[in-house]
Amino acid sequence: MAAGIVTRHARDCRSRDGARCSCSPFYEAWVYLARDRKRVTRSFRDLKEAKGWRADALSAAHKGRLRPPAPKTLREAADEWLDLVESGRLGNRKGEPYKPSTLRGYRRDLEVRILPELGPMRLSDLRRADVQALADELTASGASASSVQNALDPLRVICGRALRRDLIAIDPTEGLELRRPRGRRDRIASPEEASALLEALEPDERALYATALYAGLRRGELRALQWAEIDLEAREIHVRRGWDDEEGEITGKSEAAERTVPIIDRLAAELAAHKLRSRRRGDELVFGRTATDPFVPSTVRSRAHRAWKAGELAEVWKQADPIGLHEARHMFASLMIAAGVNVKALSEFMGHASISITFDIYGHLMPGGVAEARERIDAYLGRPTSGLRRVK
């Protein structure tokens, strides 16, 4: 038997769900911490797994990162973390507050999917095999790859925090075997289709969809947009806030969410006409049901879809996915790319936290490829001079 690992036998071993299991013999791996004068011990059903844990634990002990087991359970750690982030005392990786909708999703996934299974376990006893088993159970129950990934996100954050505070030596959420989500590319309308869509709408909703199509604002940003943030003379929209159904007015997703977006000619005409019709000014909402109450997205979407299905677009929509405010935002990005707007400017107009996000989402729309790169460089350099040897 390997050093630091002993074989044990149990007459009445039970699994996590309380059922009798046949894990006898099992393997007990240990590492001695001289500084604490204590032994850290873990039990495993598989010898290979025990050896792997001991190797990782020895490395962590050598770096001073391994500590005696903490009595805190995963549920206690989760409750503590949620209290800190919901009170604003703890932010995300960038130190910014979490979006209310993100926190609601984290709490829901913890309460429904993570804690019922793993919550009673001591944080220091949580192993990669436990998390992998939970992920496999979620997949077997029919959860999509993205749903499983999202469900594990709050657990990753909690375990990462525990690792940085030496409450655990090894992050049990690392090295998991998970299916990769299949990215579905959002529906993007062509400029011709966008014009036809707008023509079929009532004037007020035409201004709303025009702002989504030609300025790329997020749905929450459209709901919170005030006339004081639209400068028709300078042709600029100053995005400053968003709207959450439970929290009301909120700040943007990140610092980059506060931005200035250009108003193109087609949008300027729609906004000017909408301002005259609404007679709103200053801090009144541009597209609200009233000057102070934001529009209801489902109501706006239903009215728009009825108008499109009843008109000349009905035949087109039998063969295409519907367009919503979210898809309209993607149309704006594709329009910027087609017009040759550089990626840095596009990233700023979209309010992305980094340019890499823009590439990840819209890279497939950008020009490129070996042949095009060669042609562009050749065109830039011009014909070879007679003193240079041609290479076949």
pTM over 0.85: no
Let me know whether 214 and 243 are in one domain.
yes
The whole domain housing 324 covers 191-365
pLDDT, one tens digit per residue, over 172-182 is: 999 899 987 66
Residue 165 has pLDDT above 70, yes or no: yes
Q: Token pair of 223, please? A: 């709901």
- Last residue of one domain, picked from the residues 117, 146, 164: 164
Residue 170 domain-assigned?
no
Let me know whether 228 and 348 are in one domain.
yes
- Angle among Cα 316, 320, 324 to the nearest 5 degrees reads 105
User: Quick one: what percent of the chain has pLDDT higher than 70?
Assistant: 84
Helix (H, G, I), strand (E, B) or coil at 319: coil
pLDDT number for residue 289: 94
Residue 392 has pLDDT above 60, yes or no: no
pLDDT number for residue 138: 93
- Angle among Cα 226, 232, 236 to the nearest 5 degrees reads 75
pLDDT number for residue 10: 52
Decide if 90 contacts 134 (C-beta within 8 A): no
Let me know whether 220 and 360 are in one domain.
yes
pLDDT number for residue 1: 59
Let me know whether 195 and 327 are in one domain.
yes
Decide if 368 contacts 247 (C-beta within 8 A): no
Let me know whether 119 and 209 are in one domain.
no
Average pLDDT over residues 189-217: 90
Mean pLDDT for the chain overall: 84
Domain count, the chain: 3
Give the CA distances from residue 290 to residues 38, 250, 286, 319, in Å, rounded to whole numbers and listed in that order: 66, 19, 9, 36
Domain of residue 138, CATH code: 1.10.150
Average pLDDT over residues 222-242: 95
Residue 67 domain-assigned?
no
20-29, 43-52, 254-263, 327-336: range with lowest mean pLDDT: 20-29
pLDDT number for residue 23: 47
For residues 116 and 21, the model is more confident at: 116
Radius of gyration of the chain measured on its C-alpha atoms:
28
Residue 174 domain-assigned?
no
